[in-house]
Structure 1
Amino acid sequence: MKILAIEDEPQLLGNIKESLEKENFLVETASDYHSAIDKIFIYEYDCILLDIMLPNGNGLNILAELKKAGKNENVIIISAKDSLDDKLKGLELGADDYLTKPFHLAELNARVKAVLRRQKLDGKDTIEIANSVLDLKERTFMVDRQNIPLNRKEFDILNYFLLNKNRLVTKSALAEHVWGDNSDEADNFDFVYYQIKNLRKKLQSAHADIEIESVYGIGYKLVEK
């Protein structure tokens, strides 16, 4: 899962990034209004952590721009302003949650996981398709109740495919989601190909009733057999 943390306090931003990365999230950062707007409208995120008070602008304006553009990222406001008016305005503009500074990082992690579960899985911690079960909380993958070991990238790739079952996933979208914004600087997508190749072998060996099909020249699609 990919998160954008927008926060102008360097120490807090670093702590948020480190804490969420320990929870196996991919975290990008922005420390001012303009860089945040640039990232939001170039890349896709599963969740945005948004400070209200930013250099060169206001986080609530970013929320308004998201709504105007019809983008549906989950948004959690993180702000020192414990104002009911700000909270209500943020929720009216489409924020999913509101966390007031100072807060414990464990609380932030829990809020992020909660909004992601609500959107993607209707509150569940697992994705079940055919004879396969991916447990997002425990980061395990089971086929016919047998544990199939996956490395971190394989797990994140399979997670993305399962959430986009039967949909075409381009190589660039997959690379950006799993490897981050710097993936667009790569000369080719061989690193995607090798991870897909290994994941396919594991699915085949485990007799999973799902498979990753290639869509020539574009990307991949996960389907049930």
Structure 2
Amino acid sequence: MKILIIEDEPQMLQNMRQTLEREQYTVETASDYETAKSKIGIYDYDCILLDITLPNGNGLELLKLVKQLGKDDGVIIVSAKDSLDDRIKGLNLGADDYLPKPFHMAELHARVNAIVRRRTFDGNKFIEIGNVNIDPDSRSVHINENEVVLNRKEYDVLWYMVANKTRLVTKTALAEHVWGDHIDQTDSFDFIYSQIKNLRKKLSDAAATIEIEAVYGVGYKLLVL
């Protein structure tokens, strides 16, 4: 799952990032309005953690931008502004939740998890597709009730394909979502091919009734057999 943290306080930004990375999220950050605006325009996220007060801009304008672009990124406003007016404005603009500072990092993780589940998998605790069962909390995968051990990136690829099971996923979208925006620094998708190859073999060996099909020159699509 891919998270964007928009926060201008360095220590708070670092704490939030470390907390979510420990939970195996792919995390990107922005500490000012213009950087955040650029990332929102280019990339898609499972959840955006949005501070209201930012250098050179207001976080609520970024929330408006998310909606104007027709994106379905979940948005949690994370701000020291705890007035009723700010909360109502944010929720009326389409925010999914409001978390006032200060807060415990365990609560942050719980809120993010709830948003991702609600928006992507209708709030279900376990994700089932074909004979594959995924537990997001433990990041475990079972096929026919037998556990299939995946490394971090194999799991992230599977999760993203399942979340987009009705869509054709391009190589670029998959790379950006699973590996983050530093993907811009590479000129090869060989690392994607490697993870997909390994994941396909593990699914096949476990007799999974799902399959990742390559669409030549474009990307991948998840099939339920």
Partner of 2:13: 13
Q: Distance in 2 between matches of 1:221 and 1:69?
A: 25
Q: Distance in 2 between matches of 1:87 and 1:222?
A: 39
Q: TM-score, normalised by structure 2?
A: 0.98
Superposed counterparts of 1:143-222, under 5 Å? 143-222=143-222
For 1:111, the aligned partner's letter is R
Moved more, 90-99 or 128-137: 128-137
Partner of 1:73: 73
CA RMSD of aligned residues (A): 0.9
| Long gaps (5+) in structure 1 | none
**Is residue 8–residue 32 contact of structure 2 (8 Å, CA) maintained in 1?**
yes
Q: Distance in 1 between matches of 2:68 and 2:205?
A: 47
Q: Distance in 2 between matches of 1:105 and 1:191?
A: 32
Partner of 2:100: 100
For 1:149, the aligned partner's letter is V
Cα displacement (A) at 1:84? 0.3
Cα displacement (A) at 1:135? 1.1
Cα displacement (A) at 1:48? 0.4
Partner of 1:59: 59
For 1:62, the aligned partner's letter is L
Q: Distance in 1 between matches of 2:136 and 2:143?
A: 15
Q: Distance in 2 between matches of 1:61 and 1:221?
A: 35
Can you list the C-alpha shifts for 1:81-105, whole angstroms capped at 9, x where unaligned?
1110000000000000001111111
**Is residue 172–residue 184 contact of structure 1 (8 Å, CA) maintained in 2?**
no
Identity across matched positions, percent? 62
Cα displacement (A) at 1:126? 1.6
Moved more, 188-197 or 64-73: 64-73
Cα displacement (A) at 1:188? 1.0
- After superposing on structure 2, the runs of 4+ consecutive aligned residues of structure 1 that deviate more than 4 Å are none
Q: TM-score, normalised by structure 1?
A: 0.98
Partner of 1:2: 2
Q: Distance in 2 between matches of 1:133 and 1:117?
A: 15
Can you list the C-alpha shifts for 1:121-147, whole angstroms capped at 9, x where unaligned?
111122111111111111111110000
